[in-house]
Structure 1
């Protein structure tokens, strides 16, 4: 790698404005939010800011009673924060790749851990998968994002979008599944022979089955999450009784 003098480094790495959009990628791993009002972001994702910005963790009442109940039962859920005011905020999530999607009245589902930020015009609702408690090491919940505005999602490395058709369902590893189209509702399926073949734990036999017409986004990485039940918390049986 070439050695740069200090002025070259500062010039090449400095913040640049190339768009008037609220969300602008400074790099594939760092998002600038031009704040003039309110934006929702993953709690703890702020790496720098300037201007008059107030950060507030998402309140219990703002989550809605249904979302609050799901979080209480499962111990799962991405904590969001409000960013309010006027200024520039720079956010990131463990160096993951950031993808910006503009919704024009559509809805998408995103793995809860992969939601980085969304504009105030987007409605977010927590959804949980059926009969999955204790079967996978994470990814038990997802968020339905709908409305008009831009959302920022993350993935490890470059994501891949697979088409789902009525005659060609798609099966995915829950820990590698990032997002899917709003009209799809995945089923949980198991394959004992798969776990036997690869000699891995029982969690590896769990798959998501996407059937119908739409698409699903996967990443080339199995992201392991930690359930509250694994460290002495709640979760468990009640989760399996909940439906999305």
Structure 2
């Protein structure tokens, strides 16, 4: 058989029917959800599904007025959708690399733009980074997830984890920061001396500073968050 035949291509790229875990990496950039009940996912991330699955945007009363207000204030496209039913669901986000975490009574905070999906057993809350709202294009928000269950996040290319140790703070670019330990509270600072070098030509460089004991995940890409982005 030719290495370039359609049959050979199908053999190499077809879905793996032997997988039945709740979250599976079908490829490094496509998440398979073996849905038995429901899952929360980033709105617009569905690329394919089979079976009986219904999709709906986060309901107005789903998580109370407070979260909706915070979402409206950010002006960001952090909309979540709820997929309910039984079947196989395939999720992706602009070809970004996907990482799965199996939380065991743990917490992780994820940049709202980098959250792909999570199990309904996970508690979540949207938090606006008030100190940088207005300073960064489109503002910044994050989602804190805690409890036990699977969480899938995305990054542009391969992520790097930086360890935060007492007395050894880690400073990152907000646009390259993907996630961090749920108990860490980043501080924000501006560095006017960076103004000439950042290439954006608008104001100071905004930096995130993490202190304490934990980790920060960064990506080799500065993702500019624009209002209404998905």
Please state which band the TM-score falls in when normalised by the shorter chain: over 0.9
Answer whether contact 2:163 2:215 (CA < 8 A) is retained: yes
Distance of 2:176 and 2:196 partners within structure 1:
20
Give matches, 1:21-36, under 5 Å: 21-36=21-36
Shift in Å, 1:202: 3.6
Question: Could you tell me how far apart the structure 2 residues matched to 1:197 and 1:85 are?
Answer: 50
Q: CA deviation at 1:193?
A: 0.5
Determine the C-alpha separation between the residues in 2 that align with 1:199 and 1:81.
36
Alignment of 1:222-241 (within 5 A): 222-227=222-227
Question: How far apart, in 2, do the equivalents of 1:108 and 1:137 lie?
Answer: 24
Q: C-alpha displacement at 1:59, in angstroms?
A: 0.5
CA contact (8 A) 1:137 1:203 kept: no
**Partners of 2:32 and 2:91 within 8 A in 1:** yes
Q: How does 1:30-179 map to 2 (within 5 A)?
A: 30-138=30-138, 140-179=140-179
Shift of 1:66: 1.5
Please give the alpha-carbon distance, in whole angstroms, between the structure 2 residues aligned to 1:40 and 1:178: 19
2:51/2:87 contact within 8 Å kept: yes
Map Cα deviations across residues 143-198 of structure 1 (whole Å, 9 max, x no partner): 00111100000000000000011111011000000000011000110100011345
5+ residue gaps, structure 2, are none
Aligned-pair distance for 1:64?
2.1
**Aligned residues of 1:130 and 1:188 also touching (Cα < 8 A):** no
Written as runs of structure 1 = structure 2, the 5 A alignment for 1:211-222 is 211-222=211-222
Question: Within 2, Cα distance between the matches of 1:71 and 1:195?
Answer: 30
Q: What's the Cα RMSD here?
A: 1.6
1:204 is displaced (CA, Å) by 5.5
Give structure 1 stretches of 5+ with no counterpart.
229-244
1:133 positional shift? 2.0
Runs of 4 or more consecutive aligned structure 1 residues displaced over 4 Å after TM superposition: 197-200
Residue 18 of structure 1: how far off its partner (Å):
4.6
Q: TM-score, normalised by structure 2?
A: 0.93
Tell me by how many angstroms 1:139 deviates: 5.5
Aligned partners of 2:45 and 2:132: how far apart in 1? 28
Which protein has the bigger helix share?
A: 1
Closer, same or farther in 2 for the Cα pair 1:77/1:142, shift >3 Å? farther
Q: 1:13 aligns to what?
A: 13
* Per-residue deviation, 1:130: 2.7
Farther off after superposition, 101-110 or 197-206: 197-206
d(CA) in 1 for partners of 2:204 and 2:97? Answer: 25
